[in-house]
Amino acid sequence: MAINDIHTPVLLERCIELLAPALQKPGAVLVDATLGMAGHAEAFLTRFPELTLVGLDRDLEALAIAEERLKPFSNRIHLVHTVYDGIGEALDELGIPEVDGILFDLGVSSLQLDRVERGFSYSKDAPLDMRMDNTSELTAERILAEYSEQDLRRIFHEYGEEKLAARYAKAIVEAREHTPFVRSAQLVAVITAVTPVAVQRQGHPAKRVFQALRIEVNQELAVLERAIPAALEAVAVGGRIVVMAYQSLEDRPVKRALAAASSSSAPAGLPVELPEHKPLFTLLVRGAELASDDEKAENPRATPVRLRAAERIRRAE
């Protein structure tokens, strides 16, 4: 199966439109902080023939696919195996002090969702893995085996926003005393068995638990809290950042960071805003921009997307 058949980049034209003003100058550098299978990256390298791209990804399989896909642009790319909160270190090692554009496409990649054996899907039986980086040690199987009932309840509540977190945690701890959890179908069966029928009618009962486990395995929210400020620091004056999130949990820290960067730091009550208190960034879209109906119809994975973007207007003094 061709890459393009399994991977349609979300909001591609909108991302290009937002980042283009910062990328048209000679020597411009774009960081694709969530490279994946390089759908966005390939389009940017094609549209901007003088662009240098730095692609980051924690998934070695994705990096291998991206490297093959981007072979025609091999003299203009740097691919780095790192989690995206390592953006500062990656740029330092490449000798790049600042960049003109940064793109984040958060959440689970098409590759991870479509590879059943990676264990991200509750709808197909697979090993309970869920690692975005298969060189890391923590897996969903290990969490289900080792975490206390209290810790399981916490992650289901915080990362899955699951109302039945306590019930599910209790059922898992009771079930693992007899049989260890090694496959996703086992977990789905235990969750389904203790879920009221009325709740099951509202959607798959395991959806939020699987989301919570994935976030915990990959430390997604902790990484994101560090990554957005690091990315903002790397943006040059006139440079732009675009972030696409797919759930409220990951959109919130993005919203907070961009709001802080685009707000005055002057204490309340000052009659005149001093230059050093002026915002460092200006927002390019009002609130979170959603996909159009046409985009959703063409690419269903765009349905929950929330896009935010900003441009650096000055450096801190």
Whether residue 24 is annotated as binding a ligand: the answer is no
In the chain, how many H helices and how many E strands? 15, 7
DSSP letter for 237, please.
Answer: E
Rounded-to-integer distance, Cα 283 and Cα 258, Å = 8
Structure-block tokens of residue 130: 């869920």
- 38 annotated as a binding-site residue: yes
Q: Side-chain half-sphere of 279: how many Cα atoms within 13 Å?
A: 15
105 is an annotated ligand-binding site residue = yes
Dmax over Cα atoms in the chain, in whole Å? 69
Q: Which helix (H) or strand (E) holds 159?
A: helix 149-160
Paired with 30 in beta bridges are 53, 101
Helix (H, G, I), strand (E, B) or coil at 142: helix
To which residue do tokens 């289901």 refer? 156
The rounded distance, in Å, linking the Cα atoms of 23 and 48 is 7
Tell me, what amino acid is at 42? E
Q: Check the annotation: does 39 bind a ligand.
A: yes
Q: Is 84 annotated as a binding residue?
A: yes
Known binding residues:
38-40, 57, 84, 105, 112
Known binding residues for S-adenosyl-L-methionine:
38-40, 57, 84, 105, 112
